[in-house]
Structure 1
Amino acid sequence: MPKTDYDEFAEAYSADNEVNLLNGHYERPAMVSLAGEVSGRRVLDVGCGSGPLMAALRDKGAIVSGFDLSASMLELAHRRLGEDADLTVADLAKPLPYDDAAFDDVVGSLVLHYLKDWTEPLAELRRVLKPGGRLILSLNHPFVYTALNPDGEYFDIAEFSFDAEHAGRTVVYTIWHRPLQAMSDAFTAAGFRISVISEPPISVDTPPELRPPNMLHPARFISFVFFVLEAC
């Protein structure tokens, strides 16, 4: 599982996640939009962190469950969602503590790219989904690897690290790059059909001071890529 240990900076990450450009005004609004109408649907949040996506989907009527490797993150999620929230410490790299076909949808925000091998994790996510259920994912855009590593080879599957700042604290993230075709092949091999690939704009309510000054397009930049997959 990830070398990035969220227990070490859970409070700082959670506070920044609420309001920053990448999470608060780009990734999370895009995930909520892709999920669409979820009222009455059972939704599992993979790597749920402190629960902001779970809260947004619950507000839209979803019946939400979530798991994360970080116990500190789940403490924050309980504060947000209530002590009776269905939250579990679990590892995506290991068998998941859920029944077969337990969920209508699974959402995974910026989590799968922490793993080198997607075979078993995707098999587990397919197992817990009902036939025809959706797996909605956000991942580091493969373009980012070559942008940050000019000597890197796009078609490799390669581990790399980068720094990010959360509430004044610098954190080193270590994730795995894979090209778009490797992503597609892994999804297909696990029994999913790609229904949507999205490179969305930032949220329309993004404050002017958060918009990158060098954006070539007034609402778009490349950071993440989003998928909606259907369980075959």
Structure 2
Amino acid sequence: MPQDTNYDTFAEAYSAENETSLLNGFYERPAMLNLAGDVRNHRILDAGCGSGPLAAALGERGATVSGFDSSEAMVDLARQRLGAGAELLVADLGQPLPFADDTFDDVVASLVFHYLEDWVGPLSEIRRVLRPQGRLIMSVNHPILYPWTNPGTDYFKPTKYSDEHTFNGQAATLTYWHRPLHAMTDAFARAGFQIEVVSEPPYSTDAPAEIVPPQFKDRESFLSFIFFVLRAK
């Protein structure tokens, strides 16, 4: 996807962190799998597959999974994880996708869309490759996150911003687009989707106590991402 964040420069560090971090391993990924439900015999496209942990988990649940990412380094890591037989491509969500119409039962887009300024074009492409009544299951930064962490900013104004992170000891800068909730839902409707589920889930009870920050230990949930299940009209 077109973005200012170059995952090629820290792909291995991000992938290692992603495996067991609270945000990814015990919050975002379990929530995506829970929303996907029974995927046996489903053909699924992992849009922005990264190093492939979600694709691998869906495959273990009986799905046939194809994936793509704009980062060549991430796709190389996904090939190492999923094997030479997996259909994995370097592709850009901001461009026409290299898949035929009506190909997939489901598309998963895990922490991808918050990198994009425009949502309607990419959503329309996903709608094209989905079979009729297919699902898009997606997670993005929660729209309250940016105004919470940047007091005084305008929640209603789409805004480009960057955050500094450390992944497995390596510093990295991620650049996102904040948009209010109504802008998200407007884009879904314009691209031909209807909302089935909006989820703000708890983190997994399997999370080891040592990775849960002290301020979260007496809470079942916290807000970092928001999750949607969308149905292609």
TM range (shorter): over 0.9
In the other structure, the counterpart of 2:42 is: 41
Are 1:115 and 2:116 an aligned pair?
Answer: yes
2:93 alignment partner, SS class: coil
Describe how 1:59-70 pairs up with structure 2 within 5 A: 59-70=60-71
Summarize deviations over 1:54-89 as a string: whole Å, max 9, x none. Answer: 000000000100000011111111110001110000
Distance 1:172 1:8 in 2: 10
Which amino acid letter does the alignment assign opposite residue 188 of structure 1?
A
Which amino acid letter does the alignment assign opposite residue 209 of structure 2?
P
Distance 1:147 1:171 in 2: 21
Query: Number of aligned pairs?
Result: 232
Deviates more, 1:102-111 or 1:160-169: 160-169
Distance 1:65 1:84 in 2: 10
Distance 1:142 1:217 in 2: 24
Which amino acid letter does the alignment assign opposite residue 106 of structure 2?
D
In the other structure, the counterpart of 1:127 is: 128
Are 1:24 and 2:22 an aligned pair?
Answer: no
- Listed as ranges, the gaps of 5+ residues in structure 2 are none
In the other structure, the counterpart of 2:11 is: 10
In the other structure, the counterpart of 2:150 is: 149
In the other structure, the counterpart of 1:74 is: 75
1:39 alignment partner, SS class: coil
In the other structure, the counterpart of 2:89 is: 88
Task: Compute the displacement of 1:119 (Å).
Answer: 1.5
Task: Compute the displacement of 1:215 (Å).
Answer: 2.3
Which amino acid letter does the alignment assign opposite residue 162 of structure 1?
D
Distance 1:172 1:217 in 2: 31
Are 1:227 and 2:232 an aligned pair?
Answer: no
1:138 alignment partner, SS class: strand
Distance 2:144 2:214 in 1: 20
In the other structure, the counterpart of 1:172 is: 173
Distance 2:140 2:27 in 1: 13
2:136 alignment partner, SS class: strand
Distance 1:60 1:150 in 2: 42
Summarize deviations over 1:87-111 as a string: whole Å, max 9, x none. Answer: 0000000000000010000000000
Q: TM-score, normalised by structure 2?
A: 0.98
1:151 alignment partner, SS class: coil
Task: Compute the displacement of 1:211 (Å).
Answer: 1.1
Task: Compute the displacement of 1:217 (Å).
Answer: 5.3
Deviates more, 1:136-145 or 1:216-225: 216-225
Task: Compute the displacement of 1:171 (Å).
Answer: 1.0
Distance 1:11 1:216 in 2: 29
In the other structure, the counterpart of 1:55 is: 56
Q: TM-score, normalised by structure 1?
A: 0.98
Which amino acid letter does the alignment assign opposite residue 98 of structure 1?
F
Task: Compute the displacement of 1:163 (Å).
Answer: 1.2
- Structure 1 pair 154–216 and aligned structure 2 pair: CA distance change class (3 A): farther
2:219 alignment partner, SS class: coil
Are 1:103 and 2:104 an aligned pair?
Answer: yes
- Listed as ranges, the gaps of 5+ residues in structure 1 are none
